[in-house]
């Protein structure tokens, strides 16, 4: 019996979700996101995620009023219950333009369904579609957070602060999470050979 639904070839497989490691990959992602039906929302969601390092579950529940007249709002992280101050200085113009004309109690990232916010699953679908457009099968909701962490570490080399931002229990967990450990292993093996 045949169905019209596409077959998910990744179902049941563990996919190692990766950050976008290069500026070129980030620009490519921005290009594809700016061409879709919800370009304004999806592009801001992407930039918001890679510039804050928040989990998708903390991004989708934001309200417009949290970002009006402030570049450094406080939020409570759902998973940890901890308060965190965001620094949105570099995104403030884009956010201001995006929220212009919206009510303070509107969802920052609304769903297609009126009155509802985008879900984490909705973010996954956006990232999955982006992965298809970029010919990658390693993008997901954690790509946003991992991209923030990867570039923060590459710029500052401050793994202790990044560990605190992510609320991880060890620096090694943070390095593994953002893909630095994998990069270090790959780099160490580039010039390594035996008997060749």
Active centre residues (catalytic): 55, 79, 142, 145, 168, 177
Give, in order, the Cα–Cα distances in Å from 26 to each of 97, 147, 153, 167, 195.
21, 9, 16, 25, 39
Asked whether the beta carbons of 102 and 64 are under 8 A apart, the reply is yes
Residue 50's nearest CA partner among 25, 78, 14 is: 25
Going by C-alpha positions, the residue among 120, 170, 169 that lies closest to residue 145 is 120
- The beta-strand segments (E) located in the chain are 74-76, 83-85
Angle made by CA atoms 77, 166, 131, in degrees to the nearest 5: 95
């Amino acid at each position: 019996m045949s169905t019209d639904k596409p077959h998910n070839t990744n179902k049941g497989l563990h996919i190692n979700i990766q950050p976008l490691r290069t500026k070129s990959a980030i620009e490519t992602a921005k290009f594809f996101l700016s061409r879709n039906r919800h370009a304004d929302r999806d592009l801001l969601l992407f930039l918001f995620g890679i510039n804050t390092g928040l989990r998708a579950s903390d991004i989708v529940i934001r309200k417009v009023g949290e970002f009006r007249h402030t570049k450094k709002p406080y939020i409570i992280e759902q998973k940890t219950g901890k308060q965190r101050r965001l620094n949105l200085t570099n995104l403030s113009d884009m956010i201001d333009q995006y929220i212009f004309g919206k009510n303070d109690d509107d969802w920052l990232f609304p769903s297609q369904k009126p009155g509802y916010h985008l879900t984490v699953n909705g973010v996954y679908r956006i990232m999955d579609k982006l992965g298809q457009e970029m010919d990658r099968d390693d993008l997901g909701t954690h790509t946003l957070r991992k991209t923030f962490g990867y570039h923060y570490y590459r710029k500052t080399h401050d793994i202790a602060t990044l560990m605190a931002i992510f609320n991880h229990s060890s620096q090694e967990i943070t390095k593994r999470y953002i893909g630095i450990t994998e990069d270090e292993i790959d780099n160490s093996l580039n010039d390594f050979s035996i008997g060749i």
